[in-house]
Structure 1
Amino acid sequence: MTTPPYPPGSPTPQGGNERQQSGYGGYAPSGGGWPSGYGAQDARGAQPLAGQQVCSWHPDRPTGLQCSRCGRPACPSCLTHGSVGQQCRQCVAEQQPAAARTISGSKLGEQPLVSYVLIGINVVVFIITALQVRRLSLSLSDGSAFFSSQLFDAGALIPINVGAGEYWRVWTSGFLHLGVAHIAMNMLSLFFIGPPLERVLGRWRFLAVYLLSLLGGSALAMVASAPVSVSAGASGAIFGILGGLAVAFKRMKANMQQILMVLVLNIIFSFSIAGISWQAHIGGLIVGAAATAAMVYGPPERRKQLQIGACVGLLVVCAAIIGVRGASLPDGKCVYQDGLSGTGLYCPRL
């Protein structure tokens, strides 16, 4: 009588299970698996013999299978069946289409997020300052009321205070605003021009351009403003984003007419309206355009290194300008306090 094949490890009708008949005309030990050459089951846990072929990704797994495309030996778990033969995990990965990229190297179609987060942060900070002074200034003309806010006292850009060691002001001043009109104009601008540039640059590159533009605006304000002047607002960063958008449009060979018109009008307003820090606007514009140019014009093979190098270089230059200017200012600090002539910002005589 012909004995039917039994699965490895199962008892035979005779009750023995030390050796059982295989379906391939041979015998296999009950504690082992099928011969590795068949590849009928995963050889996980089996110790490969000397000279035995093993999986390219799992050296502890003997196998008789190989990739139909490259010929690499592979165990069943590392092979994918296709229309013709079976392919290893590396060949499958190599045939996957590369993700589409923008001119800066970011993923195409990435939804903007940083722009809206920055708007939220600015709005929250403004609400806190408004609660601290218990009023909402509707125009820049009465924005000095916000100087009594603890946040303004600690974070507004005052060159002489920066020179006295309060270097955080070059950053924090970009999140403070002098009234409803001030924050409304800046946040509306960021709402409209931020997402388009963020889609081109990606989230982290966009954030880098924004923060560098803010620092560039503070650097020029430190150099070209009076030592006891007070400035605040995100307009330096906004101008940097506007300049960056113009550079990106140029790189993509898009219609430049509208963006240039908006840019020119904003520059004119910066010099023609009293109370506006043109220094922050121009400084932010220059740094933002330079940072974006490094993001979109670098060759793909060295893009990341050039982008990081340019950002670090701009950071160092701005920090050096701020440090040199701060060291050249006289000693003293402006403080907000109650005095004989009323409450206000008191600065040393220079």
Structure 2
Amino acid sequence: MQYGQPIQYGPPAVVEACAFHRDRQTALHCTRCGRPACPECLTQASVGFQCRACVAEGRAAQRAPLGVTGARIGQQPIVTFTLIGINVLVFLITAVQARSGTDLTPSAVYRDGLLAPTLVASGQFWRLLTGGFLHASVVHIALNMLSLYFLGLPMERILGRARFLVVYLLALLGGSAAVMLFAGELTPTIGASGAIFGLMGGLVVVFKRFRYDMKQLLFVLAINLYLSFQLSGISWQGHLGGLVVGAAITAAMVYPAQAIRRRVQIGAAVGLLVLIVVVILLRDTQIAVRCTELTQTDFLGCSGG
């Protein structure tokens, strides 16, 4: 034995090029896949070190747990912000066309999109949906979008993106159906309040499902319902219809057992949609007045939702 020379145990380490940096030589390897990797490309794992590719695969394989509705927990509330963006964009278009933030009746988008029973009965069924994305003034859209923000964020996180969108749209259509049934035939109606009341009704159901304290929420709901019936220019029909439909479809989302949850959710959504369509079609046959356009005076009496 010669003194001053290191003693080697086992075979010498194999030096290879890093799988992610070909210009770097390394004797280290990923304990999962065996790829050669430099220290910068290795991450400590529960056992050994893993390369960046294996770490990425492991993260992708980890799926977020399911919530009570079957949706993934932790999803970002993209739908709420998208709906707010669409509403604001539509309002800006109508305001630019009308050259006003308070009188939007000169806007073609406003006139062609608002909800009026006679116009729907004449075959313009798109108004049942588009009316929920129109607003009469800056104050109108500001209040509705603020409500959508505070109600939409928690509801979307609980229900998940797809289910939240279903609740929102069905509540909107439910409000439109109630307007068709109970509002005057020549009364134009606009606003997202039907859908927003649907979210409020849905939140009541969620609070009941999880046994949260509902006193404050019910107080806010009671005040809004009272104002809907007492103040002129507010569509209580749209509010009430959206509230009922929103609560009903949310109950179908959060109450069924896991084994039948998906079937109940789909069945309830389809069933409510069919019911809304049937109600609207039956009401169409009862409306005696037919017209293809409202006058400027009629527009000025528009009932904000």
TM above 0.5, yes or no, is yes
1:333-348 superposed matches below 5 A: 333=291, 335-336=293-294, 343-345=296-298
Q: 2-side partners of 1:117 and 1:178: how far apart?
A: 20
* Partner SS for 2:245: helix
* Partner SS for 2:125: coil
Q: Is the 8 A contact 2:181 2:283 kept in 1?
A: yes
Please report how far the alpha carbon of residue 147 of structure 1 lies from its aligned counterpart in structure 2 after TM superposition: 2.4
Greater CA radius of gyration, 1 or 2?
1
2:28 — aligned with what? none
Question: Deviations 1:181-207 (Å, cap 9, x if unpaired)?
Answer: 110110000011101010000000000
Q: 1-side partners of 2:200 and 2:172: how far apart?
A: 12
Q: 1-side partners of 2:258 and 2:71: how far apart?
A: 11
Runs of 4+ in structure 1 off by over 6 angstroms are none
Q: Is the 8 A contact 2:201 2:244 kept in 1?
A: yes
Please report how far the alpha carbon of residue 345 of structure 1 lies from its aligned counterpart in structure 2 after TM superposition: 4.0
Pick 1 or 2: higher relative contact order, CA cutoff 8 A, min separation 6: 2
Q: 2-side partners of 1:98 and 1:129: how far apart?
A: 43
Q: 2-side partners of 1:318 and 1:201: how far apart?
A: 22
More helix by share: 2
1:206 — aligned with what? 164
* Partner SS for 2:77: coil
2:86 — aligned with what? 121
| 1:189 to 2:159 alignment | no
Please report how far the alpha carbon of residue 97 of structure 1 lies from its aligned counterpart in structure 2 after TM superposition: 8.1
* Partner SS for 1:255: coil
2:123 — aligned with what? 165
1:67-146 superposed matches below 5 A: 99-137=64-102, 145-146=103-104
Q: 2-side partners of 1:243 and 1:235: how far apart?
A: 12
Residue 247 to residue 345, structure 1, CA distance change in 2 (3 Å): same
Unaligned runs of 5+ in 1: 1-81, 84-92, 138-144, 338-342
Question: Deviations 1:237-286 (Å, cap 9, x if unpaired)?
Answer: 00000110110111111111121111111111111111000000000000
Residue 274 to residue 344, structure 1, CA distance change in 2 (3 Å): closer
1:318 — aligned with what? 276
Q: Is the 8 A contact 2:186 2:298 kept in 1?
A: no
1:278-317 superposed matches below 5 A: 278-317=236-275
> What is the one-letter code of the residue matched to 1:290?
A
* Partner SS for 2:259: helix
Residue 101 to residue 295, structure 1, CA distance change in 2 (3 Å): same
Q: Percent identity?
A: 48
Task: Name the Cα RMSD after superposition.
Answer: 1.9
Residue 299 to residue 134, structure 1, CA distance change in 2 (3 Å): same
Counterpart selection for 2:201 from 228, 234, 243 = 243
2:303 — aligned with what? none
Q: 1-side partners of 2:75 and 2:113: how far apart?
A: 33
Q: Is the 8 A contact 1:334 1:345 kept in 2?
A: no
Residue 297 to residue 332, structure 1, CA distance change in 2 (3 Å): same
Q: 1-side partners of 2:106 and 2:298: how far apart?
A: 8
Please report how far the alpha carbon of residue 148 of structure 1 lies from its aligned counterpart in structure 2 after TM superposition: 2.4
> What is the one-letter code of the residue matched to 2:287?
L
> What is the one-letter code of the residue matched to 1:323?
L
Q: 2-side partners of 1:200 and 1:237: how far apart?
A: 17
